Chain A
Amino acid sequence: MPIRVIGLNNRIAPVEIRELFSLDATDVTETLQQWQDAFPGIEATLVSTCNRTELYFASDHEELPDYKDVFPFMIAPARRNASEEIVYERYRNYFQRFEEREAAERLFAVTSSLDSMILGEPQILSQVKRAYKLATLAHTTGPILNEAFQTAFKTAKRVSVETEIFRRRVSVPSVAVVDFALRIFERLNDKKTLVLGAGEMAEETLKYLSDYGARSVVVVNRSREKAERLAEQWNGVVVDWDDRFQALASTDLAIVATGAAEPIITLNDYLKIENARNVNRSLFILDLAVPRNVDPKVGKRPNVYLYSIDDLESACVRNKELRDKEIPKALQIVREETARFLANVNARKSIDAIRLLRNGWNEVKETELDRLLRKLNCDKHTEEEIRYAFDRLVNKLLHSPTTTLRAASQNESGSRLTEVMKKLFKL
């Protein structure tokens, strides 16, 4: 089965190399148009994300080009024209090359996020879908890549449904939101979020909260400038540092991540605002700072759910262990889908060969039948009998090669057998 892939990713290529081969959507479209001119009849799809750039190309009737020949199509057109130093020989060690079964397995594993930096990250599926869409719009896909990408999406879905890989989160912010916040609150779009401190971790957590619907954000920071920057980014409001407890009194979720060396919310501070809080509201506090910014005794108060970075990290480790156990199951799904894909492609090729063979023999049959009937000049009934006998003869002669080809198409020998058949009968 003629399918190949050449690509580089974050495992083997550092970022300064990866950025040389990074292409945006416009670059991909332009590159694929150039591909069509250079290799008409050869299917191609270019997947380019921040962690990988991979070119999949395939054809069921043309000879596939060499990796060296397709290498220029992995460079953005503008960069390709500007610099002639980006040559295959210089960068070939950063590239991985796969053919046939391995190429298909590679595509399925990438789409299922089994090759991602963070196992189970859901973005890769949408990135591959986008790449496939660009290729279909550029008309560079055909029967093989269509089948390959559809199978890849199906594989990703199976991995998502049949394993726990996508469900187990392993980053602190995602665990905080999904494994804790969503077990306390039914929805986040009507909740108030308070961010104390404007560090990276707080920002990352805020991003996850926002993905799950959190809208109302209040930012408190000693440096008002930083607070305003963060608030602007998330459509939030800034509250003075001195008013932080009033803000806490009306909040549902609090992300605390300042650089303070001592707790900035002590038990006494909380007790002062406890009566001002709505009795029906839970308070979810994420203390992401080290040393901790919230007195652990606050977490013992009714309706307060306080988690420190250690609590979250232990949940991450737990999830990671559970997820790693699922990898063999996911790889098995990839193998199954690869086998199915190969069988389908082989079957399609063998069907073509069978059709050609049958047409060829029927042509010979018709010619010989015409000649014989002209000579015999028999009545209609006899003519029908002779035609019937010829049909049966051809069908009987074709039965054995047809069934053998069909059976062989289910495994890899089918492809070779089809080629032999085509050569043997000059199809």
Chain B
Amino acid sequence: MFKGVDVVCFTACYSIAFVFELARLRFAKDSRLFVLIPFVLTALGAVAHASFLYYNDLLQNDRFFSSAGGWFSVLAFAVVLVELYLTLVSKTQFSLFLLPLTLSLIAVSLCVGNVAFPPAATCVWVRATHASALLLAALLSFFGAVSGYMYFWQRNRLRRNVAENSLALPSLEWLSRACRFAANMSVVALGIGVASGFYLKIFSGTESRFDLASIGTPFVFVAALLSRFPKRRARAVDVCAMNAIHNFVVGAAMGVLLFSVAFGPNSHWNPPTHAETNANEQVEADESTLAVPPAQ
């Protein structure tokens, strides 16, 4: 039934939902219809997106995350699910902030293309964990930055006694907690990503790869980790500001690294194939042969 679903279907749903969200700000502040329509459109888009992933990623290549585009598409899908959940739970306009992120991720997934990776010879699960953890770290950082932004928006409205007419935002307490949670969890995800990256470097024959992503990610992780140490006597507003800045900086850094992976030389994406692994082993064998002088 959903076999023919194309990127255009769910992208159109998300885009129209976003336009409705924008229109709601300006024209239909109190209309229930303007709340319902974008939500339903996003939900329909999510269904179409899920079937697209199923048919184009899983069935076509026998596995999820089978291509660079697939990774970004799955990430966009995760953002949509988070957005739907938050809209349902908090009944606020999260989609206004998260739909542009979703659309950007879909755009990136289209740019990097849908060419399937060659099947990996070793460490398939570690490889998947490495990629998932780093993408999750980026996602959490984006989400935390959005929460921080919303926090300051809400705080400013409360300070100036502005009514909550045009845009419903969650409470300061919730936003502050979400921002802190995102900051902490993004560091954990980064740690997992970096650790699995080191594991891959050591055990899976990818020692020769030294690109921006491989070098930059550990630095981002160390910087993010150091920034999580508690500050002495910081006021709550400052704590939230620090969390928001942390999320924004980590998110931006991860964005740059992902960009370099997506649009740079694409060797970082591709796992070593059987042939590559065999060749490496052959080179190692040759080197050892050369190192030991033949017995006289």
Interface residues of A (CB under 8 A from B): 161-162, 164, 179-180, 182-186, 275, 279-282, 302-303, 305, 307, 311, 314-315, 318-319, 322
Chain B residues contacting A302 (CB-CB under 8 Å) are: 235-238
What distance in Å separates the Cβ of A200 from its nearest Cβ neighbour in chain B? 24
Contacting B161 at CB < 8 Å: which of A182, A279, A315? A315
Do B32 and A282 touch (CB < 8 A)? no
Per-residue CB proximity of B168-184 to A under 8 Å, as 1/0?
Answer: 01111110110000000
Do B32 and A161 touch (CB < 8 A)? yes
Do A280 and B239 touch (CB < 8 A)? yes
Contact A186/B171 with A305-B158, A307-B161, A315-B163 known, Cβ cut-off 8 Å: yes
Do A279 and B239 touch (CB < 8 A)? yes
Q: How far is the CA of A180 from the CA of B154 in the complex (A)?
A: 11
Q: How far is the CA of A72 from the CA of B171 in the complex (A)?
A: 53
* Cβ of B164 under 8 Å from chain A: yes
* Cβ of B292 under 8 Å from chain A: no
Chain B residues contacting A279 (CB-CB under 8 Å) are: 233-236, 239
Chain B residues contacting A311 (CB-CB under 8 Å) are: 161
Do A179 and B235 touch (CB < 8 A)? no
Chain B residues contacting A307 (CB-CB under 8 Å) are: 161
Contacting A186 at CB < 8 Å: which of B32, B158, B174, B237? B174
* Cβ of B30 under 8 Å from chain A: yes
Contact A184/B172 with A314-B161, A318-B163 known, Cβ cut-off 8 Å: yes
Chain B residues contacting A184 (CB-CB under 8 Å) are: 158, 171-173
What distance in Å separates the Cβ of A414 from its nearest Cβ neighbour in chain B? 33
What distance in Å separates the Cβ of B183 from its nearest Cβ neighbour in chain A? 14
* Cβ of B3 under 8 Å from chain A: no
* Cβ of B159 under 8 Å from chain A: yes
Q: How far is the CA of A318 from the CA of B172 in the complex (A)?
A: 23
Do A282 and B161 touch (CB < 8 A)? no
Do A185 and B173 touch (CB < 8 A)? yes
What distance in Å separates the Cβ of A63 from its nearest Cβ neighbour in chain B? 45
What distance in Å separates the Cβ of B246 from its nearest Cβ neighbour in chain A? 16
Do B237 and A303 touch (CB < 8 A)? yes
4 additional A-B pairs beyond A183-B172, A318-B163, beta carbons within 8 Å, are A185-B171, A282-B172, A302-B236, A315-B163
Chain B residues contacting A185 (CB-CB under 8 Å) are: 171-173
Do A305 and B164 touch (CB < 8 A)? no
Contacting A183 at CB < 8 Å: which of B154, B234, B238? B154
Chain A residues contacting B239 (CB-CB under 8 Å) are: 279-280
Do B158 and A280 touch (CB < 8 A)? no
Q: Give me the 9 closest cross-chain CB pairs, A-B, nearest first.
A: A186-B173, A186-B174, A302-B235, A186-B171, A302-B237, A280-B236, A303-B236, A184-B172, A185-B173
What distance in Å separates the Cβ of A220 from its nearest Cβ neighbour in chain B? 24
Q: Which of B165-214 contact A (CB under 8 A)?
A: 165, 169-174, 176-177
19 inter-chain pairs at a CB distance below 8 angstroms, sorted by A residue, are: A179-B164, A180-B158, A183-B154, A183-B157, A183-B164, A183-B171, A184-B158, A184-B172, A186-B171, A186-B173, A186-B177, A279-B235, A280-B239, A282-B236, A302-B235, A303-B236, A303-B237, A315-B161, A315-B163
Do A179 and B163 touch (CB < 8 A)? yes
> Which residue of B has the minimal Cβ distance to A299?
B159
Q: How far is the CA of A318 from the CA of B161 in the complex (A)?
A: 11
What distance in Å separates the Cβ of B63 from its nearest Cβ neighbour in chain A? 40
Q: How far is the CA of A280 from the CA of B243 in the complex (A)?
A: 13
Per-residue CB proximity of B24-35 to A under 8 Å, as 1/0?
Answer: 000000101000
Chain A residues contacting B170 (CB-CB under 8 Å) are: 186
Do A282 and B159 touch (CB < 8 A)? no
What distance in Å separates the Cβ of B164 from its nearest Cβ neighbour in chain A? 7
What distance in Å separates the Cβ of B214 from its nearest Cβ neighbour in chain A? 37
What distance in Å separates the Cβ of A275 from its nearest Cβ neighbour in chain B? 8
Q: How far is the CA of A180 from the CA of B160 in the complex (A)?
A: 12
Do B236 and A281 touch (CB < 8 A)? yes
Q: How far is the CA of A307 from the CA of B158 in the complex (A)?
A: 10
Q: How far is the CA of A21 from the CA of B23 in the complex (A)?
A: 52
What distance in Å separates the Cβ of A249 from its nearest Cβ neighbour in chain B? 14
Chain A residues contacting B169 (CB-CB under 8 Å) are: 183
Q: Which of B127-170 contact A (CB under 8 A)?
A: 154, 157-159, 161, 163-165, 169-170
Q: How far is the CA of A322 from the CA of B171 in the complex (A)?
A: 23
Q: How far is the CA of A162 from the CA of B157 in the complex (A)?
A: 26
> Which residue of B has the minimal Cβ distance to A187?
B173
Chain B residues contacting A314 (CB-CB under 8 Å) are: 161
Q: How far is the CA of A390 from the CA of B154 in the complex (A)?
A: 78
Q: How far is the CA of A314 from the CA of B160 in the complex (A)?
A: 12
